[in-house]
Amino acid sequence: MTTTYDVVVVGAGHAGVAVVSALAKAGFAGSVAVLGDEPVLPYERPPLSKEYLTDGGAAPLLRTEAFWSTDSVQLELGAQVTTVDPAAKLVHVADGRTFGYRKLVWATGADARALRVPGATADNLHSIRRLSDVDRLRRHLTARGRAVIIGGGYIGLETAAVLTGLGHQVTVVEAVDRVLARVTGPVVSRFYQQLHERHGVRIVLGETVAGIATRAGRAHGVHLGSGELLPADVVIVGVGAVPAVEVLQDAGAAGDGGLLVDDLCRTTLPDVHAIGDCALQVNRFSTSAAPVRLESVSNANHQAKVTAAHLVGAPPPVPAVPWFWSNQYDVKLQTAGLFAGHDEVVTRGEPDSGRFSVLYLARGRLLAADCVNVPADFAGARRVIGERERLDTELAADPGTPLKTAVLAHA
């Protein structure tokens, strides 16, 4: 027998759980089912490359077990949706069950991008996306081993910081000429490279990985394009994420490199929303009119609120400036806005002091800010970006002047 729910949420990660809470806060009284393919209660992902990797222990649950024991929400774990029938409004689960929906919220996130080189199936080669990935990695860590991390993005560098702290000898291999190249400018990239090098991490830039050297199914090294072999007891791959869109695209949803949604998070299929890492949406804080896919908790939460408001017939929340954080060693990065398309860069404060911000502007307006150990700048930047203000760049370069004081009077 098929039960039909007012709302079926597919994916029990940050976005899927946020939509459940946002619906409850908005007073939604209908029936809700959440189908998640992982066998564990929904958990937070950011700690996977931070505290949970360091300490293990209890899973960092997004909500307590008691939260899910209410009658208003049916949480199904280990339920992998394999097909969607948008005409009949049904979703089919791998175990044979079928759920009917009036509204479908697709929140399947993304999967770790696989490394396609010889030897990449080695048993001690890991990615960090799911709790089970980190549990497996922690089991493979030997005391004071050698770790090679492929990819110098946030996840790779956070992992490098944790493993260094645990006493491992870490090498990071990055294909382009600086770390964090996709997400920040050269000043911040240089700061993080030096931070890691000071902690004893070797950073190899502009190098490709030719293959994984294996023996009896286990990696013992990483072959670089240059011919060098980096010895390794464990290999971690952090080369980005691929949105989990196949099932909904097979059902007919449009979108290239994500599920295309409008400003209310509606896909091109009737009564189907998509939110979180899998959604591709025009963002009013982007310099480009092309839709973007954002991978952050704040984006997942905001799109969940937009969707819940729409489902209960409430006005949408005001657009939120995208933001992200990253913790490495004792350095806290908070970043606001989207930096792509900037034409001017202003550094506030001295990177060597360990407290500074980098502002990215386009035609005089603040687009984005990377704030390293300066929460005040982060808070100020979020406001200035949100109001699309122009900045006096000379004033803004002075770390003693609050950012809002550097806003130019309206012409």
Partner 1 sequence: MGRITFIDSGQAERPADFSPGESVMTAAVNNNVAGIDGECGGELSCATCHVYLPESLAALVPPPSADELEMLEVVDERQAGSRLGCQVRLVDSMDGMVVVVAGEGS
Ligand X SMILES: Cc1cc2nc3c(=O)[nH]c(=O)nc-3n(C[C@H](O)[C@H](O)[C@H](O)COP(=O)(O)OP(=O)(O)OC[C@H]3O[C@@H](n4cnc5c(N)ncnc54)[C@H](O)[C@@H]3O)c2cc1C
Residue 218 per-residue DSSP state: E
Helix (H/G/I), strand (E/B), else coil: 150? strand
Q: Which of residues 51-110 bind partner 1 (CB under 8 A)?
A: 60, 63-64, 66-67
* Residues in Cβ contact with 295 at an 8 Å cutoff, skipping those fewer than 6 apart: 110, 241, 277
Query: Do the beta carbons of residue 30 and residue 7 sit within 8 Å?
Result: yes
- To ligand X, the closest distance from the beta carbon of 82 in angstroms equals 7
In angstroms, the CA 361 to CA 340 distance is: 10
Residue 49, binding choice from partner 1, ligand X, none, Cβ under 5 to 8 Å by partner class = ligand X
Bridge partners of residue 364, in order along the sequence: none
Residue 305, binding choice from ligand X, partner 1, none, Cβ under 5 to 8 Å by partner class = partner 1
Residues near partner 1 (CB under 8 A), total: 30
Residue 24, binding choice from ligand X, partner 1, none, Cβ under 5 to 8 Å by partner class = partner 1
* Residues in Cβ contact with 111 at an 8 Å cutoff, skipping those fewer than 6 apart: 129, 241, 242, 244
Q: Which stretch binds ligand X (CB under 6 A): 202-210, 289-297, 332-340, 372-380?
A: 289-297
Tokens (6 digits) for 249: 């695209």
Q: Which is nearer to partner 1, 200 or 317 (CB)?
A: 317
The verdict on 30 binding partner 1 (CB under 8 A) reads no
Helix (H/G/I), strand (E/B), else coil: 74? strand
Tokens (6 digits) for 277: 């890492």
Q: Which is nearer to partner 1, 92 or 332 (CB)?
A: 332
Helix (H/G/I), strand (E/B), else coil: 334? strand
Select from 11, 42, 46, 258 the one that contacts partner 1 (CB under 8 A): 46
Q: What is the dihedral of CA 304, 310, 312, 318, to 10 degrees?
A: 70
Q: Which is nearer to partner 1, 175 or 331 (CB)?
A: 331
Hey, how many other C-beta atoms are within 10 angstroms of the C-beta on 173?
A: 24
Interface residues toward ligand X, by CB under 6 A: 10-16, 35-38, 45-46, 48-49, 80-81, 107-109, 128-129, 155, 244, 247, 276-277, 295-298, 300, 324-326
Interface residues toward partner 1, by CB under 8 A: 21-22, 24-26, 44, 46-47, 50, 60, 63-64, 66-67, 297-298, 301, 305, 309, 317, 323, 325, 327, 332, 334, 375-376, 378-380
